[in-house]
Structure 1
Amino acid sequence: MFRGFSARIGLSGVAPVLALALVLAGCGSGGDEDRAEVEAPVSAVATAPDEPVESPTLIAVKRRGYLNCGVHEGLVGFAYTDNRGEWRGFDVDFCKVMAAAIFGEANRVRFVPLTADNRYDALASGRVDVLWRNSSWTMERDTGGRFTFAGVNYYDGQGFMVRRSLALNSAAELNGARVCVAQGSTSALNAADYFRARGIEYTPVVLPTEEAARNAYAREDCDAFSADISALAAARTTLGSPQQHAILADVVSKEPLGPVVRRGDEGWTALVRWTLNAVVLAEELGVTRANVKAQEADAADPRIRRLLGVEGEFGPRLGLSKTWARDAIAEVGNYGEIFDRNLGAQSALDLTRGLNAQWNARPAGLIYGLPIR
């Protein structure tokens, strides 16, 4: 095509083209200086070393010897202390995943219980290094200038819990109802949006914490309790007669929950993002807590070999060892194992995977492992 185009120009077209080139070359008052200004950044980009971004947060964590992880102050399934005072839960396990990736030991973490109201202040002040506290990724939070969401570890939605004795089938039947919600969460706004869009009158009962909202509902200070559906399932297990309470089918919002970090430390953001991704990818590739060492020794799949550090230098790009992901999986497990023991069939909540199934499962979910390559 290019030969034909040149031939069609012919000799008669050479002069105008050269003239135009000379005019363009002479444009501007600076001549060579102007060209230097344009060319310098291109040259700089081309020769810049492709090195990992150093993370001040990671340096501080390593110097301290443990990770400070912000979690819910008490939510069954996600973050709570057992009868021995040990922290357990879905989000707790992701804190352990990070500790294992950084130190090779899942117990190198300190859990800092936070309310919905004080969680972001605790992160901004440096009291915690990362927030794993069922926090919804919203535009306002992500573009506020202070924080960055590093991924999604649970896809949720807001719903309503009511007493079965009310014989309700839908949240649209809550006209005139008192609805308990927690202060500092997205629940109050979502509930207001839902009822306003439908012209339904209701009375919001805003409590300082999720626990206070749950207790108010238990005392019958309100007719419904509205929160993330996973939180409602957890709350129901704590009530005197769980079977007397129903979670309505209505899902009135999208709540992508995930880890939050301070803005400005790109290396730390990448570390959080890829440790989450590593356990997601491990489930997809069939790497488990039980077989990870065998996979490390025998796997022929290059995706598994890169994940476990047999090939490539992916851990060092995060400021970690080559076996960062292998250590996390060996200590805590893959995403499916973490889900099952805290939220799924092996837990009191017995939640189905739903949207939190792998993308290639049947039925498919939204959990998708980014490629390590």
Structure 2
Amino acid sequence: MKRKLILVFVLIISATLFFSCSGAGKDTAGTSDETVTKDVTMKTLDIVKERGYLIVGVNASNPGFSYLDSDGKYVGFEADMGRAVAAAVLGDPEKIQYRPLTSKERFAALQSGEIDLLIRTATHTLTRDTDLGLNFTVPYYYDGQTFMVRKDSGIKTIEDLEGASICVLTGSTSEANLSDVMASRNLTYKPVLYENTDELVAAFLAGRADAWTNDRAGFMTRLQTIIDPAVYTVLEETISKEPLAMGVRQGDDQWFDIINWSLYGLFFGDEHGITSSNVNKIRNSSKKPEELAFLGMRSDLGAKLGLSNDWAFNMISKAGNYSEIFNKNLSAASGISISRGFNQPWTDGGLLYAPPFR
């Protein structure tokens, strides 16, 4: 399994370079220079329906979350979240086009209308919510920032990082958090900044820095692609809260509602045990009013969002519920084995909670 994941990591880098140069790698029809910004008076839902597919900003090289596989197809937890939204809005999870974006590029691409939706490990913060002209959804993944070092470095705690050189992605909350925590503890350090994750990882593995700071889940996915992961260790202390959320432009409440309630739908399916394999049966046999409303068998919840009344049925049947998407990409079965932690239904001790579908 490790050799397979290492091969995937190598292919990710090669495919990313190829598709960046060639303009290929899209999952649906449409040219790279196609105009996607419509009349500003148009709602995003109308733009997406008129175009015929959803445009989502993602990472192209984050194993487990979003990356290009050897066939040039975007796969991963965040990529599949995008497919779930496409299924809810357009009835087809493959009516989607992905735009690879760096941490520095991602918000500008959403602001300009280049993309309809951002799903790229973006932490929801007050400043981002108020200063960028964007709205952020309920979190789809709860994470926290820490550090990776070589085991033989002697670094066991954050205090041991005094005077260290530390790799970090520019334009990320990790960069700001690093500055804050080091200043609060009167520790000096040298930031080694990169815009691209693959370049950062290559530099760290080559010994160009003493440490690397990132979200914990990012380390778990990357460790599976490192040739000798036993050489490295992740510090126990978590220095921040990192609630990852989807982003949309401010001023379009309908689109914001659609994305939020699509996420709630994934949570609801998980909480109620509604999966892609049993959703047909539940829709035809359930006696629970809320489940029937959710699946479009009573009331007009879809119409209130501007969608068909079977939007949630389409999403669950064609993309799965939250657990299905998580397990496919991040569980032990995927070869990555990230613990669910807070990322499970509230009924199981997690933080995923859907408001009533009524």
Alignment partner of 1:276 out of 257, 263, 267: 263
Secondary structure of the corresponding residue to residue 346 of structure 1? helix
User: Counterpart of 1:115?
Assistant: 102
Alignment partner of 2:186 out of 181, 190, 199: 199
Alignment partner of 1:238 out of 207, 216, 225: 225
Q: In 1, distance between residues paired with 2:163 and 2:227?
A: 26
Q: In 2, distance between residues paired with 1:139 and 1:66?
A: 31
* Structure 1 counterpart of 2:352, one-letter code: I
Secondary structure of the corresponding residue to residue 267 of structure 2? helix
Q: In 1, distance between residues paired with 2:235 and 2:335?
A: 19
TM-score normalised by structure 1 residue count: 0.83
Tell me the CA shift for residue 209 of structure 1. Answer: 2.2
* Structure 2 counterpart of 1:108, one-letter code: K
Q: For 1:322-362, what per-residue CA distance to the aligned partner results, in whole angstroms no more than 9, with x for missing partners?
A: 1000100001110011111111222222001011121111x
User: Counterpart of 2:199?
Assistant: 212
Tell me the CA shift for residue 145 of structure 1. Answer: 5.1
User: Counterpart of 2:34?
Assistant: none
Secondary structure of the corresponding residue to residue 354 of structure 1? coil
Alignment partner of 2:300 out of 307, 313, 316: 313
Aligned length: 318
Corresponding position: 1:61 with 2:72:
no
Tell me the CA shift for residue 314 of structure 1. Answer: 0.5
Q: Aligned ranges for residues 278-317 of structure 1 at < 5 Å? A: 278-317=265-304
Q: For 1:143-192, what per-residue CA distance to the aligned partner results, in whole angstroms no more than 9, with x for missing partners?
A: 11510002210001111011112243322221121110011101111011
User: Counterpart of 1:42?
Assistant: none
User: Counterpart of 1:223?
Assistant: 210
Check conservation: 2:107, 2:132, Cα contact below 8 A. no
Alignment partner of 2:67 out of 80, 90, 94: 80
Secondary structure of the corresponding residue to residue 111 of structure 1? strand
Secondary structure of the corresponding residue to residue 131 of structure 2? coil
Q: In 2, distance between residues paired with 1:183 and 1:340?
A: 30
Q: List structure 1 runs of 4+ shifted beyond 4 angstroms.
A: none
Q: For 1:50-73, what per-residue CA distance to the aligned partner results, in whole angstroms no more than 9, with x for missing partners?
A: xxxx97100010000000011012
Corresponding position: 1:368 with 2:315:
no
* Structure 2 counterpart of 1:116, one-letter code: S
User: Counterpart of 1:92?
Assistant: 79
Q: For 1:203-236, what per-residue CA distance to the aligned partner results, in whole angstroms no more than 9, with x for missing partners?
A: 1111122222212101110011101111122222
Secondary structure of the corresponding residue to residue 127 of structure 1? coil
Q: In 2, distance between residues paired with 1:349 and 1:175?
A: 32
Check conservation: 1:150, 1:260, Cα contact below 8 A. yes
Check conservation: 2:146, 2:215, Cα contact below 8 A. yes
Check conservation: 1:55, 1:267, Cα contact below 8 A. no
Secondary structure of the corresponding residue to residue 251 of structure 1? coil
User: Counterpart of 2:238?
Assistant: 251
Tell me the CA shift for residue 321 of structure 1. Answer: 0.5
Q: In 1, distance between residues paired with 2:277 and 2:157?
A: 44
Check conservation: 2:61, 2:197, Cα contact below 8 A. no
Tell me the CA shift for residue 193 of structure 1. Answer: 1.0
Secondary structure of the corresponding residue to residue 355 of structure 1? coil
Q: In 2, distance between residues paired with 1:158 and 1:237?
A: 18
Check conservation: 1:55, 1:268, Cα contact below 8 A. no
Identity %: 36
Q: In 2, distance between residues paired with 1:327 and 1:55?
A: 25
User: Counterpart of 1:31?
Assistant: none
Q: Aligned ranges for residues 5-84 of structure 1 at < 5 Å? A: 56-84=43-71
Q: In 2, distance between residues paired with 1:245 and 1:145?
A: 37
Check conservation: 1:89, 1:342, Cα contact below 8 A. yes
Based on CA coordinates, which of the two structures has the bigger radius of gyration? 1
* Structure 2 counterpart of 1:239, one-letter code: I
User: Counterpart of 1:49?
Assistant: none
Check conservation: 1:55, 1:265, Cα contact below 8 A. no
Q: In 2, distance between residues paired with 1:281 and 1:163?
A: 41
User: Counterpart of 1:26?
Assistant: none
* Structure 1 counterpart of 2:93, one-letter code: A
Alignment partner of 1:138 out of 125, 134, 139: 125
Q: For 1:108-151, what per-residue CA distance to the aligned partner results, in whole angstroms no more than 9, with x for missing partners?
A: 00011100001111111111000011100011110115100022
Q: In 1, distance between residues paired with 2:92 and 2:195?
A: 36
Secondary structure of the corresponding residue to residue 293 of structure 2? helix
Check conservation: 2:122, 2:246, Cα contact below 8 A. yes
User: Counterpart of 1:12?
Assistant: none
Tell me the CA shift for residue 197 of structure 1. Answer: 1.1
Q: In 2, distance between residues paired with 1:339 and 1:170?
A: 31
Corresponding position: 1:190 with 2:200:
no
